[in-house]
Amino acid sequence: MSVRVRYAPSPTGSPHVGNIRTALFCHLFARRHQGVMMLRIEDTDRSRYVPGCEEEIEESIAWIHIDWQEGPDKGGPHAPYRQSERAEKGIYAQWADQLLAAGHAYKAFDTSAELEEMREFQQINKQPIGYFGGKWRDASPDEVEAAESAGMRPVIRLKMPRGKMLVVQDAIRGRVEFRSDDVDDPVLIKADGMPTYHFAAMVDDHLMETTHIIRGEEWISSAPKHVWLFEAFGWEPPIFVHVPVIKGKDGSKLSKRHGDTRCLDFRSAGYLPEALANFIALIGWSPGGDREIMTIREMEESFSLEGLQPSPGVFDSDKLKWMNGHYVRQIDPSKLLSVVREFWSHPETQSYWKDRTPVEGEADPTQVRTGLDALCHAPEEYALACLKLEQERVTTLADFGPACLFFLVDEPEMDTKAVDKWFGQAHVPALLEAFIKLCQAAGDSASPETCEAWVREYAASAGLEKLGPVVHPLRVALTGKTAGPGLFELMSVLGPGRMLRRLRRAQGLLITA
RNA sequence: GGUCCGGUCGUCUAGCGGUUAGGAUGCCGCCCUUUCACGGCGGAGGUCGCGGGUUCGAAUCCCGUCCGGACUACCA
């Protein structure tokens, strides 16, 4: 039997990296076994529906190169793939009726106040909390009829068996057992006629011939309800794969408090989908051995359920940064400009960096904006030259802004410490003067080799043994900073004209004793 | 309170009865070098949560214990 898996998110908010990782695992598993991945929208809760969310889900998973063969946007043999539409077709009601007829489900007319009271009582008396033996479980047909004719809207609950062992076959943890007496009767159909997750997901998984339910670990405790549903229907249950949760640095479940968690925010922040996918897959999964850097194709080839970890993992953003830097360096230099332009021209990227408050140790939003704006408006050749020189020095696409900024503004911000260190030294005025002359004498351009020759010859003529006393002040004069690309390359990219203006400006900053 | 899951360097992990417990990241140092970064090399960092067993031998198997987490809605 060929593998069929589904990614079944509910459109109640932006998908975060945890959700996306589950989708990734589905994708990898499906691909590994030449199976099918379905996208199913679990929109049975009307009150929590967030418009636009479904599109964001699709955009998010498509962004990291996950594809699916069946879904609301693609159709498929089991359409529709939106549960609200399936509910309209009466799919769930039909199966609920069957359960009702078979005595596996019953109508319950409790009011929410009554249920609340019940839980309160259980809480106080330290009893297990849940709907275990509510009065409707074994109500007589007469009682039900009376309630119905009184106009009360019932829910349909699943009648869990008593005195039975319910076993969940989990691909990661093996056999997980639950005593059925510990499991309460879940609502299958709500009073508004919509199915709950418990019911809709399982009915659909059967109807859609799902072979493996890959979902978050938080579902493991309701798995016995799902298993029983299959048994009550007489259906063959799929294999469950409960993937561990992702935690933040403090050990609690990953949330906004830990910084960006929304999938598409990583795109806006300048992360590459290849890096995010690679990184995220490694939380909770390993191909075995020492392999870490893998393309999505390579992961597809080596993915297996056995490599899945049962324990939760912490989202280490430092390691993500390292990995992203690796993938940035991997970009074919000829494509660098188009990658950066596509990144920066995205409306979401723009709004992400707009009015963003600076964070210590991270790229300064103002510099990101001005740098990237300038980069995208600069002549292509010049912009590309700047990017190439910074490629191995950045960790995110956004970093190109601050990194390239000095190339693009007429008067780069000067590092005062660097100015203090170098511009008071006795040999510097003559040095600046000499390079001004060289630039004046040069034509429109100067190759890195030419620039190197200038520097070496000047050092020699000034009787300097090392290049440092020439290189460092020049770098500060030209870039305002002490760190950056190789001086000769950077000089060449700036060109004689720009160098000339900067050297003259530097003359005005000389510290005269 | 109940049920279930989990526990190897700070972090992600390899490991499946015999290893000096390996790799990666982060940190430190050295090399490269005109700076930073990249890259290369090296170092610190783990009594494999703890306690008992089983075994000639346990991170690996069993039991207990502690700690952490998830669930406990007419939400998913």
- Which nucleotides on chain B have any atom < 7 A from a protein Cβ? 1-8, 10-16, 22-26, 34-39, 68-76
Q: CB of residue A284 closer than 7 A to nucleic acid strand B?
A: yes
CA A487 / C1′ B37 distance in Å: 13
Q: What pLDDT shows up at residue A249? A: 85
CA A319 / C1′ B42 distance in Å: 22
A256 carries an active-site annotation: yes
CA A327 / C1′ B20 distance in Å: 35
The residues that bridge with A168 in the sheet, in sequence order, are A176
Separation in Å, CA A231 to CA A199, A234, A355? 13, 5, 55
Concatenating the DSSP letter of every residue in A95-155 gives HHHHHHHTTSEEEE---HHHHHHHHHHHHHTTPPPS-SS-TTTT--HHHHHHHHHTTPPPE
Q: Which residues of chain A have pLDDT under 50?
A: none
Q: CB of residue A134 closer than 7 A to nucleic acid strand B?
A: no
The span from the CA of A177 to the CA of A86, in Å, is: 32
Q: CB of residue A159 closer than 7 A to nucleic acid strand B?
A: no
Q: CB of residue A217 closer than 7 A to nucleic acid strand B?
A: yes
- Strand B and chain A: which residues 401-430 have CB closer than 7 Å? none
Give the residue from A207, A115, A206 showing the smallest Cα distance to A155: A115
* SS3 labels along A332-351: CHHHHHHHHHHHHHCHHHHH
The span from the CA of A268 to the CA of A455, in Å, is: 41
The encoded tokens of residue A323 equal 């990995």
Q: Which nucleotide is nearest to A323 (CA to C1')?
A: B25
A 10 A CB-CB count for A305 gives 16
Order across the sheet with A212-216: list the strands: A36-39, A4-7, A212-216, A239-243, A165-170, A174-179
CA A511 / C1′ B40 distance in Å: 40
Q: What pLDDT shows up at residue A251? A: 79
Q: CB of residue A116 closer than 7 A to nucleic acid strand B?
A: no
The encoded tokens of residue A508 equal 């005005």
Concatenating the DSSP letter of every residue in A185-216 gives --EEE-TTSPBPHHHHHHHHHHHTT-SEEEEE
Q: CB of residue A286 closer than 7 A to nucleic acid strand B?
A: yes
Name the burial class of residue A278, with classes exposed (0-12), middle (13-18) and buried (19+) by CB atoms within 10 angstroms of its CB. buried
- Strand B and chain A: which residues 296-335 have CB closer than 7 Å? 306-307, 309-314, 316, 318-319, 321-322, 325-326, 329
| Beta-strand relationship, A165-170 and A174-179 | antiparallel
Measure CA to C1' and name the residue nearest B22.
A290
> Reduced to 3 states, what is the DSSP secondary structure of residue A265?
helix
Give the residue from A414, A442, A376 showing the smallest Cα distance to A510: A414
Q: Give the pLDDT confidence of A458-482 residue by residue, as tens digits.
A: 999 999 989 999 999 999 999 999 9
Q: CB of residue A129 closer than 7 A to nucleic acid strand B?
A: yes
- Whether the CB-CB separation of A56 and A14 falls below 8 Å is answered with yes
Q: Return the axis-axis angle of helices A380-390 and A336-345, rounded to nearest 10°.
A: 100
Q: CB of residue A42 closer than 7 A to nucleic acid strand B?
A: yes
Amino acid at A460: A
Q: What pLDDT shows up at residue A330? A: 97
Q: CB of residue A58 closer than 7 A to nucleic acid strand B?
A: no
CA A503 / C1′ B20 distance in Å: 59
Give the residue from A72, A306, A70, A303 showing the smallest Cα distance to A173: A306
Place of tokens 């997750």: A197
Q: What pLDDT shows up at residue A302? A: 96
List A126, A164, A247, A256, catalytic entry? A256
- Whether the CB-CB separation of A491 and A497 falls below 8 Å is answered with no
Q: What pLDDT shows up at residue A513? A: 61
- Whether the CB-CB separation of A114 and A166 falls below 8 Å is answered with no
